[in-house]
Chains A and B, each alone.
Chain A
Amino acid sequence: MSLLRRLPRSAQLALLLLMLLALAAMLVPLLSPYACDQIDFGGVWSAPPGLQAAHWLGTDSLGRDLLVRGFCGARVSLLVGLVGTLVALLIGVSYGALAGYFAGRLDALMMRVVDVLYALPFMFLVIVLMALFGRHFLLLFVALGAVLWLDMARLVRGQTLALREREFVAAARLAGLSELQILRRHILPNLAGVVIVYATLTVPQVILVESFISFLGLGVQEPLTSWGVLINDGAREMQSSIWPLLIPCLLLLLTLLCLNLIGEALRAALEPQVRR
């Protein structure tokens, strides 16, 4: 809580907005009389916006409620953002901490692997993967995690390399703790700051990548929808109506903006050396 109070006003506001957005993503599709993919034949192209209208923000060309669809997309996009980050976090932290803590030859080998993987154009592999194996939800997470854990691993490894030389690690070793115990009780908690900051900044990246893949028509599939799918649909219809494009774009922009603001603020609060 004290951390929350240390954040600048803009970041606090961003956090509030983000929570409202997540709440809306949960509640709007539940409370609305329309389902995500429900077609209202009477409401096709009803003009937005208006609170008296049956559809507050109008509908798309198939007569689906835009407000509800925007938040249905939010559900998937936010979920993918969180789970994808978690996957990247899990792989990246354990890999980086192991490499950094045991250092030496193991570290050199493990980082060599990361270097090689870095040089691969992963987005293309992801596109190939999604195009070939169909649009599996699970596959999407695996692909996203596989792309984004590399940065995390490098970061964590660097931090761990510095931490392992510190006195408290030597003290723990003298106290007879095993290597794994030291890693778990003394190294990992000290990594928390860096990891939290980086994770906050990874969420928007995952959301971006997911919507990029969905925009290409390779990601989430009907009846599920995400912001990438909606933006793609909206872009196709924009000559008839701009709302199907604008609404998901605005939601995406707002979310990414909030997440980036929070991430930057956390970085300033938790990593004093970069504070300016």
Chain B
Amino acid sequence: MLNLVLRRLLTGIPTLLLLLTLCFFLMRLAPGGPFDRERSLPPAVETALRAEYHLDESLWQQYRRYLGGIAQGDFGPSFQYEGYRVQELIAAGLPVSLQLGGAALLLALLAGGALAVLAVRKPGGPLDRALMSLTLLGICLPNYVVAPLLVLLFALTLGWLPAGGWQPGQWRDLVLPVAALALPQIAYIARILRSSLLETLAAPYIRAARARGLSESRVLLVHAIKPALLPLISYLGPAAAALLTGSVVIEQVFGIPGLGRYFVQAALNRDYTLVLGVVTLYGALVLLCNLLVDLAYGALDPRQRAA
């Protein structure tokens, strides 16, 4: 296990470096710069600004300077938010995004799991069919559709919850964004877990457990669930990535001061360092999620441990 962690960390670094390099040069290839304004700056000011941010150096020099900074934990100054380092901006936005994503993931797992367990009690029965139609609908409703519809219903029409905004400790602010982020995931998780549960329930050892007279819920929740979790767990790596991208939209719709909201704006404003910082962070998060998935796989299925 330690071996796996070490190997993943070692391969993770070049992957992140590749991502960083790709992004760095892509951004510099693009037309426009961080100091383009509607009214152009006086040449002297622009030259001074460019020198201040080292934009007057060659690309290669800038790239080396940037990597050198990262090695020391410094992601450079933001172009858009004067006087802030990128890591300060990330430190402000990340906890908000993590809270949102974590709550959504938890909700999706609980609700999706419950739906799947309900559905397999009578496969092909009316409840199963209704739930599967419902989850198919859920898959077809991306979160940027769900979010405005939820706002329309619960905030504007019924007035139960706020339409947006974010104050620490206000759970009411959290309800709609988390629901919008989680709903499509609930549908995916329910469908995946249902089909893997059905597959597991057909295994001989389940028949043996039933023959021993164990109750149906014990068979389902103790004997069948563990192997059935494996496909779900391998889905959770990409799901984490989906939650992260989803939060870009959700944070925009609900005006939540997380990382995602910075991101699009930063790319549009050519805030090179901020975009790079956020992309790198997302890349690291995805790699971390994949590692956790593999660890969980090993924990659940001893046959996977050797690999």
Interface residues, chain A, CB within 8 Å of chain B?
Answer: 116, 119-121, 123-125, 127-129, 131-133, 204, 208, 211-212, 215-218, 228, 231-232, 234-235, 238-239, 242, 245, 249, 252-253, 256-257, 260-261, 276
Known: A116-B14, A208-B142, A216-B264. 16 other contacts (CB 8 A): A116-B15, A119-B283, A120-B19, A121-B283, A124-B263, A133-B30, A204-B140, A212-B142, A217-B264, A231-B144, A235-B147, A238-B156, A245-B149, A253-B141, A256-B140, A260-B136
B267 touches A132 (CB 8 A): yes
Can you pick out 16 interface pairs between chain A and chain B where the beta carbons lie within 8 Å of each other?
A119-B286, A120-B15, A120-B19, A120-B286, A124-B278, A131-B267, A132-B27, A212-B142, A212-B249, A218-B264, A238-B151, A239-B156, A245-B152, A249-B149, A253-B137, A260-B140
The answer to whether A131 touches B264, judged by C-beta atoms less than 8 angstroms apart, is yes
Say yes or no: B264 contacts A245, CB within 8 Å: no
Known: A121-B241, A121-B283, A257-B136. A215 touches B144 (CB 8 A): yes
Contact B253 A235 (CB under 8 A): yes
B18 touches A116 (CB 8 A): yes
Contact of A261 with B148 at beta-carbon distance under 8 Å, contacts A128-B23, A128-B27, A238-B156 already known: no
Q: Report the minimal beta-carbon distance from A233 to chain B, rounded to whole angstroms.
A: 11
**A231 x B145 contact (CB < 8 A):** yes
A128-B279, A215-B249, A249-B149 are known contacts. Are A261 and B142 too (CB-CB below 8 A)? no
Interface of A is mostly: helix
Per-position binary interface string of chain B over residues 2-27, scored 1 when its CB falls under 8 Å from any chain A CB and 0 otherwise:
00000000001011001100110011
Nearest opposing residue in chain B for A151, CB measure: B238
Asked if A238 meets B152 with Cβ closer than 8 Å, knowing A116-B18, A121-B286, the reply is yes
Min distance, Cβ B59 to any Cβ of chain A, angstroms: 15
A residues near B304, Cβ cutoff 8 Å: none
B286 contacts across to A, CB distance below 8 A = 119-121
Contact A125 B279 (CB under 8 A): yes
- Contact assessment for B248 and A127 in the assembled complex, using a CB-CB cutoff below 8 Å: yes
B87 touches A (CB below 8 Å)? no
Asked whether B23 lies within 8 Å of A125 as measured between CB atoms, the reply is yes
Instruction: Determine whether the beta carbon of A212 is less than 8 Å from that of B30.
Output: no
Select from chain A the residue with minimum beta-carbon distance to B276.
A128
B contact residues around A121 at 8 Å (CB)? 19, 241, 244-245, 279, 282-283, 286
Most buried by B among A129, A216, A260: A216
A261→B286 CA distance, assembly (Å): 30
Q: Does B290 make an interface contact (CB < 8 A)? A: yes
Which parts of B217-269 form the interface with A (CB within 8 Å)? 241, 244-245, 248-249, 252-253, 263-264, 267-268
Smallest CB gap from B252: residue in A: A216
| Contact A235 B279, beta carbon cutoff 8 Å | no
A208 to B270 Cα, complex, angstroms? 26
What residue of chain B has the Cβ atom nearest to residue A250's Cβ?
A: B145
* Interface membership of B105, Cβ < 8 A: no
